[in-house]
């Protein structure tokens, strides 16, 4: 190390961007201030050491005067501080690493000073420093520097408690993971949370403390015990704890206006680049639904998709875009994203090109109703797999516009399916809906009609395409779904509108829905309808009440809930299977095969031709009437078409 190096280092410390001392906003001590304090402490320590030694003996080596001994000592220590950057850490967040750097710097300084002293002895016959002087000096210097940092740290913590309101939090459950989370909170640079204890779902721990914090059992006396602590929030670590107790705890928190927070999943805790505390967030309503994670067989999916040319219709929509994202991760040869919505297609194109630069994307603007436009795609690309997500899906809107649903949901599907047969596509995976089961509205009926058509294609002798259908319920976070709608109403101050107090629905996340589609695409031999074990149905009224409480408000007090009555075509209870259906298991316990009655190709085609002709004549009643003849279980509910049920019967 040269003097030029230390000079440049010193100039950098004094003049870099951290050198400004802002008394009005003292977030941290500038590095030059820390260095000056450390040098000052070495000087004071040397003087104190001299006085201590002077009390023990008056005999000092006379090669250098006491003043020059102190100057040399300070100089050597300063060089060590520069070399090891002992000043660079934020003092209020000093850690064991910072303490170790100080200890090493002090030890190096002592060794160097001792070395200089003995070099002097060998060259001149006289030493510079007494050995007791070096030992006492290094001890006092280290202790004083450590004390300085502890004082700053304690002062900052006291100051931050006064000037910054931290949330008093409890952590649910006692385990290795939750203790690790507690340690992360206590040692975090983020002064957001103040851990006041743990919650146990098992036995009482009245005499046991962890990290100095008490453990509270969640029982009838729980609120009375935690009330003095003024708890602001409870942290629920992901994948930790008794589910049944956790649900009761969530209800308790919602009723007592205690915020519910969630921490990252356990796998993320091993990633040291992730600040666990900064990733603790307020729990979302999606997290409170009783959902079971789907476990995918990545090997089968990768084998099915890797190196293939794949087409996704409706690829810019909620479901379609997530299917595209998941497919892109399996390295297809070419991924064609087809949609009629210009702006969403442009947005997804920008995202995908950035996220998956090695994937060959083709973004095609077009309409599945335009058979010529769709045919161009099949003719110019050797497509192996089609995921058909394009559809009209909003029940009340479709109920008033049956012809449009016929054009898109039926004719569009026929266009894509026929081209798959014509061009020998390996697999066609259709995204359907639970509303196709015992349909009570036009949307569900058109999707059921599309299901029947693709099922019937299996008997065509020239067909070598496996036609697969997947059914699932309401998708959380998709365009027009209930949760974003409720959020908007709550933000406006209400009222939150629910169609009926007893209405229930099944829910799943977009990610889960698309995982089901990909998994189903690797199963079966064609003609199957795959349904998903979606857990427990959710009462929409309970969903609305929980969302209001999660916003820190009280239902019926801060935000009103109004019942508007069932919408056209809407039913109280969605079903996953029709009355005459049976199920068969698959290798994934969450995915079942619905054995549902199908029809011959000619029978389905004859009825659909009647539906299409009625649509071309703008005769909505005839459209619905023809659909009811093809689908006997289609019974309109709360709709202008209810009278047609009697006519068909």
Neighbours of 647 (CB within 10 A): 9
Give the span between the Cα atoms of 213 and 460, in whole angstroms. 71
Distances (CA, A) of 607 to 465, 613, 614: 23, 10, 11
Decide if 435 is catalytic.
yes
Closest of 368, 364, 369 to residue 381, by C-alpha: 364
| Per annotation, catalytic residue among 127, 308, 403, 435 | 435
Give the span between the Cα atoms of 469 and 431, in whole angstroms. 6
Give the residues across from 429 on adjacent strands: 387, 468
Residue 194: cis peptide before it, omega within 30 degrees of 0: no
Closest of 235, 247, 254 to residue 548, by C-alpha: 254
- At 168, list the tokens: 């008093």
Strands 361-365 and 496-498: unpaired
Give the span between the Cα atoms of 491 and 211, in whole angstroms. 40
Helices H / strands E in the chain, number of each: 24, 22
261: part of which helix (H) or strand (E)? strand 259-262
Give the span between the Cα atoms of 530 and 591, in whole angstroms. 7
Closest of 390, 548, 530 to residue 471, by C-alpha: 530
Helices (H), 529-571: 540-550
Q: Residue 436 carries which DSSP code?
A: G
Neighbours of 91 (CB within 10 A): 21
Strands 167-172 and 233-236: parallel
Torsion angle (degrees, nearest 10) of CA 207, 208, 209, 215? -90
- Is residue 648 within 8 Å of 628, Cβ to Cβ? yes
Give the residues across from 281 on adjacent strands: 262
- Please identify every residue annotated as catalytic: 435
């Amino acid at each position: 190390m040269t003097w030029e190096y230390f000079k440049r280092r010193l100039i950098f410390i004094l003049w870099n961007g951290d050198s400004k001392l802002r008394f009005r906003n003292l977030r941290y001590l500038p590095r030059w201030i820390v260095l000056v304090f450390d040098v000052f402490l070495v000087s004071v320590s040397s003087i104190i050491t001299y006085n201590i030694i002077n009390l023990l003996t008056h005999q000092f080596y006379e090669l250098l005067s006491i003043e020059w001994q102190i100057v040399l000592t300070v100089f050597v220590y300063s060089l060590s501080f520069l070399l090891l950057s002992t000043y660079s850490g934020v003092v209020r967040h000093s850690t064991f690493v910072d303490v170790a750097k100080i200890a090493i710097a002090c030890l190096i300084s002592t060794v160097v000073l001792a070395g200089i002293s003995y070099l002097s002895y060998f060259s001149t016959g006289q030493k510079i420093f007494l050995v007791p002087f070096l030992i006492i000096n290094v001890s006092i210097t280290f202790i004083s520097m450590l004390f300085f940092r502890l004082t700053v740290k304690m002062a900052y913590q006291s100051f931050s408690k006064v000037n910054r309101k931290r949330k008093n939090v409890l952590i649910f459950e006692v385990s290795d993971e939750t203790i690790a989370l507690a340690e992360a909170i206590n040692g975090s640079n983020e002064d957001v949370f103040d851990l006041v204890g743990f919650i146990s779902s098992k036995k009482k721990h009245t005499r046991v403390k962890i990290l100095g914090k008490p453990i509270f059992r969640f029982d009838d006396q729980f609120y009375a015990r935690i009330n003095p602590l003024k708890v602001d929030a409870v942290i629920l670590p992901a994948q930790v704890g008794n589910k049944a107790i956790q649900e009761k705890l969530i209800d308790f928190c919602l009723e007592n206006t205690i915020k519910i927070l969630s921490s990252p999943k356990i796998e993320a805790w091993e990633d040291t680049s992730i600040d666990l505390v900064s990733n603790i967030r307020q729990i979302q309503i999606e997290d409170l639904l009783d959902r079971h994670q789907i476990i995918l067989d990545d090997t089968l999916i990768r084998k099915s998709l890797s190196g293939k040319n794949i087409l996704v219709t409706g690829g810019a929509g909620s479901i379609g875009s997530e299917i595209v994202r998941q497919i892109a991760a399996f390295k297809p040869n070419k991924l064609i994203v087809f949609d009629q919505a210009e702006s969403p297609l442009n947005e997804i194109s920008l995202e995908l090109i950035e996220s998956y630069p090695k994937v060959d994307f083709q973004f095609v603007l077009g309409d599945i109703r335009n058979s010529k436009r769709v045919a161009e795609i099949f003719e110019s690309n050797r497509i192996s797999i089609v995921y058909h997500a394009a559809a009209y899906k909003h029940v009340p809107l479709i109920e008033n516009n049956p012809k449009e649903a016929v054009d898109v949901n039926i004719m569009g599907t026929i266009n894509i399916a026929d081209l798959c047969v014509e061009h020998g596509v390996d697999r066609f995976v259709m995204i359907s809906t639970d509303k196709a089961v015992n349909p009570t509205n036009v949307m569900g009926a058109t999707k059921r009609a599309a299901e029947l058509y693709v099922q019937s294609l299996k008997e065509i002798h020239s067909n070598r395409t496996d036609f697969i259908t997947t059914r699932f319920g309401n998708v959380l976070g998709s365009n027009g779904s209930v949760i974003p709608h409720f959020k908007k109403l709550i933000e406006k101050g209400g009222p939150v509108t629910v169609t009926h107090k007893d209405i229930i629905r099944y829910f799943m996340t977009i990610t889960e829905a698309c995982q089901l589609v990909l998994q189903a695409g690797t199963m079966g031999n064609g003609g199957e309808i795959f349904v998903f074990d979606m857990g427990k149905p959710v009462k929409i009224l309970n969903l609305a009440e929980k969302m209001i409480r999660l916003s820190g408000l009280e239902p019926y007090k801060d935000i009103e809930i109004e019942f508007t009555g069932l919408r056209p075509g809407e039913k109280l209870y969605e079903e996953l299977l029709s009355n005459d259906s049976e199920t068969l298991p698959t290798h994934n316990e969450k995915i079942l095969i619905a054995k549902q009655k199908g029809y011959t190709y000619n029978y389905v085609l004859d009825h659909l031709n009647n539906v299409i002709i009625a649509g071309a004549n703008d005769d909505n009643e005839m459209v619905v009437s023809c659909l009811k003849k093809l689908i006997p279980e289609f019974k309109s509910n709360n709709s202008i078409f209810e009278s047609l049920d009697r006519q068909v019967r």
